[in-house]
Each structure stands twice: as C-alpha cells, then as structure tokens.
Amino acid sequence: MRPTRHRALTGLVALCSLALLAPLARPLTAGKIFIYNDLSWFHLPMRYLFQQAMQSGDTVLWTPSIYAGLYVLGEGQTGLFHPLHQLLYRLFPLAVAFNLEMIANYVAAFAGMAWFLDRLRLSRPAALFGAMLFAFCGFNLQHNHHLNLVAVVAHMPWLLAAADVVIVDERRGAQTLALVGVAGILASEILLGFPQAVLWNLLTLSAFGVYRCHETGRWPQLTVCALAVGLGILVGGVQLLPTADAVAHSQRMNLTDKFALTYSLHPYNLVQWWSPNFFFKGAYSEVEDMLHEFGIYSSAILPLGLIWVWLRRRALPDRRRLVMAVTAFALVMMVLTLGSYGGVAEVFVHIPVLQALRAPARFIVLVQFALTILAALTLDDLLAIADGRHPPPTGSLIALWTPLALGVVTTIVFNTGLVGVDPRVVAGTWVAAGGVTLGGAVSLLLYLAARRVRWTIAGLVIVTAADLGMSGVNFVRRHGSSTILKLIGTIPPAPDTIEDAYAFVQLGGIISPDLYIMRGYRLTAGYVGLYPAVSHAVDNLWAMRLSGTRWLFTRDGVRHPFDHAVARARLLDLRWAPAPGTVQMVVDRPGNLAADVNVPGRTILAFTERFHGGWTANADGAALAMVRVDGDFLGCVVDAGVHRVTLQFMPRSFVYGVIVSCLGIVALALVAFARMRPRTPRLPAPGS
C-alpha cells in the first residue's frame, strides 16, 4: 500500500506548479500573446488564416495567402482537424484561442505525467513533483514557440500510461478502454502535424512496452499495444497522407543526406549539466547561437536524481529494474542528441524518414523525460526514508557533490579567464557561479534529506520550482508579449482589390513576412515549415512577375510598387505566348476559383496561383486538362467558345486520408466491441 500522508507536501508541489504556469497565462489576462520566434513568425498568422477560413466558409485545405498558394493541411503545423483546434478557433477570438492552445500544452503535460508516475506506483507528492519537472522542463519551455511540437510531447506520458494499462491490467474492460486510449492519443498526436515528435513518442513507447512486458512477463500484451498503434495511425490518416504528399513535393526531398544532422548538439554543451550559466549565450554552437535548440539544462535535480538512484539501487530492490532501464534509455538518447558528434551519422542519413527530419539535439527531450522519472523516484525514496519505510543511506554520499565540484572547477578554470577563452563564448565568473551555487544548494538539500532533516524535502521542491522558473519560464517571459494590434500596427493595410494585394516581403526583416497576411496581403513568398519545391526561386524577378506580385517590402518594412506582374488570370496559346480573347475573374476564394472566358480557339487559362495536383477544373460540366504554367503556376486548357471555368482544390491525399481515418475509426470500434463482448464459456464435452 502506498502512504496517503504528505498532504501538505502534495499541496506545496501543486502550488509551485501553479506558480510556474501563472506567467505563461499572464498574456491571456492582459489581452496579449507571446511573440517570440515562430509564435508570431508563423503560428499566429497561420491560425489567423485557419480562423478566417472557418468563419467565411472557405476551405481550410488551401490558402492563396502565402507562397502564392499553399497546401496548408499538408504543411500540417496548424493542426487543422485536431478537435481542440477546431473548438478553440471556432469559439474564441484569435488571441484568446492562441493563448489557450499554448497553456493547454503545459496542463496536459502535467496531468499526463502525474498519471504515468502514479501507474509506476510513486507516492502522490513524488508523482506531482515529476509532473512539474516534465511539464516545465527546459525543452518544453525553450520550445514554447514550437506550439505543436510541445503539444505532441505533452502526449508522451499519456501514451505510456495508457499502454501500461493495456500491459498490466488484467481486467478485460480496462484493457479495451486503454487500447482505445492508445489509439486515440496517437491519432491526436498525428493530427497536430509534427511527425518528428510523434516518432519520439513511438520510440519511447516501444522502449517502455518492451521493459514493462519483460518486467511482468505479459509479452502477448505487446501485440495488443502494436494493434492500438496501428489503429491510431489509421485514424490519423487524414493528416498523415496530406503530410506525405506535401513532403514528397517539398524542397526537403532535394536536400542532401547531411540535412538530418543539422543542429547536432556539440559535446561542449554537456557542461550545462553542472554549470547551466557557463556559456555567455546559454549554449554553444559552431553554426548558430540558438539556446532553444542547444540548451539541455532543465533543473539541477535531474543529474543529481540520476546519481541518487544509483547510490540507492541496492536499497530499492523493487525499483532496480526501472532505474537500469530508464538510465540506459537516457544514455542512448543522449548519444543520439549529439548527432554528428556522437558517431551516429550513418544511422540518420540512411534511414529514409529520418533524412527529412533535422535537429538531433531535440532528442534531449527524451533525456529530460527519462531523468524526470529518476528525479521523481528520488523524491519518493526521500519521503520513504523520512517515514521510516526505507533505510537511510549507510555509505558515503560524496558522489552527490560531483556536479558541484565539476562546476567549481570549470568556473575557476574557464569563467575566470585562468585559461584563455573567448569572452563571447563563456559567461562571466559571477554569472556562472550563480548556476553552480544553485546546484550546490540542491546537493545540500538532498544530503540533509538523506539524514532525515524533514523540512529539506519541502525546500527541495521550492528550490527546484525556482530553478525551473529561472531557467525555463524566464526564457519565455524575457522575449516579451504584445497585443496583436500592436504587432501588426506598423504594416500598411493591403489594397481592397484582391489582385492588388499580392506582395513579396523579404525574409529577415524587422517584421516577419507572414504577419503581412494579417493586414490583408497575399504573399508570393513567406515562411513555412515545408517549402514547396519550385522551378523558379521565389525571390527571382521572373517568379515575382508570374506570381502576380504588386508590392515589394524591404527588410525595414518600406513598401515599393512592382509594375511587372502578370494579371491574376490571363490567356496563353499552346506555345505559351499571349493569346487573344477575354477573361474575367468572378470567384477568387481559397481553393475555389472561377473565371468567365471567351476564346477563339484552344487556349490555356493561366493563374498566378501556385500549381498543385489537387486542383481540378471544369467548364460546362466537362473536366479540363490541368497544366503547369512555367513549371510553378496553375493553368488549364480551354476549348474555343464562351465558358465559365471553375477550379476546385480537393487533393487525393486528403480524400484518401479521410477514407483511411474513417476505416480506422470503424476498425477501432469493431475491435473495442469484440473485446468488450462477454466470452461464452465452453461447455464440457459429453461424458467428461
């Protein structure tokens, strides 16, 4: 039986967690949003388009407002068909929905981790402590601007906890509900549109499933977990197939194999484990200074928790297998994090799916997840020692001071300038010493808790929460927040006519190109995750002309007219020269175009919309042949006469994706029904 005491400590952990969440929710109460990096560069404008499409009744699959036309569903990161996104952006104003989406990530991560650690039979304070460590870990907070990435990561403990029920629980009804849970959780991840994070979760699920089946001897249940995963993948087909379509027609297919190794973690960054403030810019990189990609520190308790459980492994016989498995997983993930520096380059560059997924440094989230489990086990053990349920340590605890010793040495040798190091790389002495001192305080609290100084456990919780706040929450807050109006207020509004609203905005300017969408412009370039493959570079004058660009914005936000653009719709002969006749646009909505044409002979009707195989055209009830205009743009062949030509965007990848998802839902329901049916007992054979 687990103890039901420690209510005060449980309340303290919950209070500390709320204190960490409060700064993240502050913009919601102030009518603002966080604006760092992709939050304002990409996610906000894309969700603006999503909300506008739903409100106006337009398709959400395609937008003409970026890149002269983009398969938004295939790009994926807006999570168009995720139920939460559908709910938030239908019911709430943009800023409110945007804030709630971000806050939900941390609430979900906390609740899921608490359930998962409860499944591992940890005490309630320890489970909540681990939930706090995971929800507000360095990775989740430093990547808060990657909204859907953090959202997928938040699914990880839910996935493992549901799988644990499938493997361990002997009640058939509970197993069936958990099977549905695994499938539903995985489908939810897929619908969020960040495949790389889904792969991390599946990797973690595979490792946990093997460990749990080995521990319990219930190997047949691994097949049930695999069935649930397969069903979840089917249910997520409405996003998976469009994503595969977008990837196949993106620039990533033309990148070298080495792309998968960009953003590998340099080994110098390992010093962050014992000296989080060692580097002047928080982390070290030979290419770009990006703390959110190369920061590996989460809190001092993570490395110390690893040391503690290994010091105590003989005193924790019921936890020994778990400690060994989690430690081995953390070490393997740490090697993967190093990428090209860890000797695993061949693994990445020869696996087809991984070739298109960069940033091995992001495997650090799995390291932090594993170390969080060990830190929660540490607090659980300390509580058991304080209650007299576990014997206190009898041997030396000198290993607990190892991070402090390393921190003191590196500070004296490097941060003081004793060894000549570029001051643009390492921080000043007092800055570095502050991080080392905090780690030393945690070591001291662990040591005193081992000696049954009871108040130190509460102190450990408070110091850890403060550590997470200073290293993670402060990262989010210091990049600031703003109202949407202020964010886009300096951009001149677009002209009222659609044709005159097409603009090219240079990347790297004072305002992200995508924000111009929110002032009514249709961009002929822009910033997206999956850039469509093109024949002409978007900043090429020829491409600007063919995409209908009417305005050029310089990096400092100055607007200049561009007078060489072609018309929104025009006529070409079969040799691509201007053709006689008339054309008039009558419908110009996302994924829905119509034009009245009067042509004397067979003619190509060309648009400034980017080509995609999902477009179809018809006139007078007859389908028209689609053609690429100059390799990149949309066109169709029209016969002589007067016609109204209509074009619709409905790609096969979406249609097939819907079919696959429906089949997955039906299959999941059938499997659940079959497993929930009571078994008919076998009658004894006659004469037995």
Q: pLDDT, tens digit, for every residue of 315-347?
A: 999 999 999 999 999 999 999 999 888 877 666
| pLDDT at position 500 | 96
Coil/strand/helix, residue 68: coil
Environment class of 667 (CB within 10 Å of its CB; exposed 0-12, middle 13-18, buried 19+):
middle
Straight-line distance from the first to the last Cα atom of the chain, in angstroms, rounded to the nearest whole number: 44
- Residue 240 CB-half CA count within 13 A: 20
Same domain as 553, residue 597:
no
Tokens of residue 1, six digits: 């039986």
- Residue 506 domain flag: yes
- Tokens encoding 521: 């412009």
Do 553 and 590 fall into the same domain? no
What's the pLDDT score for residue 508?
82
> Which residues face 623 on adjacent strands?
618
Q: Strand, helix or coil at 607?
A: strand
Helices 429-450, 301-311: axis angle to 10 degrees equals: 30
User: Which residue type occupies 376?
Assistant: A
Distance, CA of 417 to CA of 429 (rounded, Å): 8
DSSP letter assigned to residue 561: E
Low-confidence ranges of the chain (pLDDT < 70): 1-5, 255-257, 345-357, 679-688
Distance CA 437, CA 441 (A): 6
Specify whether the backbone of 550 is left (phi greater than 0), alpha (psi in -120 to 50) or beta: alpha
- The residues with which 605 forms a beta bridge, in sequence order, are 571, 636
CA distance 157 to 134: 9
Q: Are residues 512 and 543 in the same domain?
A: yes
pLDDT value of position 69: 97
For 293, the enclosing helix (H) or strand (E) is: helix 291-294
Q: For residue 359, what pLDDT is reported?
A: 86
Residue 600 belongs to a domain with what CATH number?
Answer: 2.60.40
End of a domain among 549, 565, 581? 565
| pLDDT score of 677 | 76
pTM for this prediction: 0.95
CA R_g for the chain: 28
Interatomic CA distance for residues 466 and 472, integer angstroms:
10
Are 561 and 574 part of one and the same domain?
no
Q: Give the pLDDT confidence score for residue 280 in this predicted structure.
A: 92
Secondary structure tally for the chain: helices H, strands E: 27, 17
- Residue 603 domain boundaries: 570-652
**Claim to verify: residue 556 and residue 600 sit in the same structural domain:** no
Assess if residue 507 is contained within a domain: yes
pLDDT at res. 346: 60
The residue among 19, 16, 1, 12 whose CA lies nearest residue 125 is 12
Which DSSP symbol is given to 279?
A: B
- H-type alpha helices, 339-428: 345-349, 352-355, 364-387, 402-410
pLDDT at 365: 97
Bridge partners (DSSP) of residue 33 are 482
Predicted confidence at residue 356, as pLDDT, reads 58
- Residue 652's pLDDT is 97
Pair 341, 275: CB distance under 8 Å: no
Q: Indicate whether 580 and 645 sit together in one domain.
A: yes
pLDDT at 686: 64
Domain boundary among 515, 539, 565: 565
Structural domains in the chain (count): 2
d(CA 276, CA 300): 9
